[in-house]
Structure 1
Amino acid sequence: MKRGSSEAIKASVNHTTIRFCTDLDAAAFDGFDGVVSCAKSGKYIEVQTSNASQCLQGILAAYPNLEDVTVERAGLEEAFKQLS
């Protein structure tokens, strides 16, 4: 098992979550650059991406009226889940 500081463990997970509110289906976002996966949860879409900046720019260019947009890097819990 890998060991290290919490920052080193978080850095080992290379994904960011972009979350936003839309009536569109998750499949509408699969083709954007850097998308690893997409899922719909209620009225929200969660996009896992390996390149948050490029992915977010593409999504907002195509769908400029999205609401409640948040961007969050993987936390320590997500890092541990991927490492185990």
Structure 2
Amino acid sequence: MSSVQDHIIVYVGAYGGKEDTDILVYAGNYHSSETFTGDIKVTVYDMNEEEVFTETYEQVTLAPGEKRKLDSTYTSQPMNTYQFQYEAQP
């Protein structure tokens, strides 16, 4: 048996040119029947593993199967990788 937390996926995409990069943050609930409500924290790192961007999205609610853009921002620093954490609310 798996929980709704096992089905939360966050994707961070970086799109840009030579001067700056747009960062798009999406989240999806891939559980077939349970709603996710909670906080999602996203941290983006550059090639030197230094933090470029950190944001916590509080009280996010995603219905079963829902995918949604959480944020759109930009940076002048290149992005290499990201990590996410989430905490479901009871």
Q: TM-score if structure 2 supplies the norm length?
A: 0.28
Structure (1 or 2) with the greater helix fraction: 1
Q: TM-score if structure 1 supplies the norm length?
A: 0.29
Q: Which has the higher contact order (CA 8 A, sep 6+)?
A: 1
Structure (1 or 2) with the greater strand fraction: 2
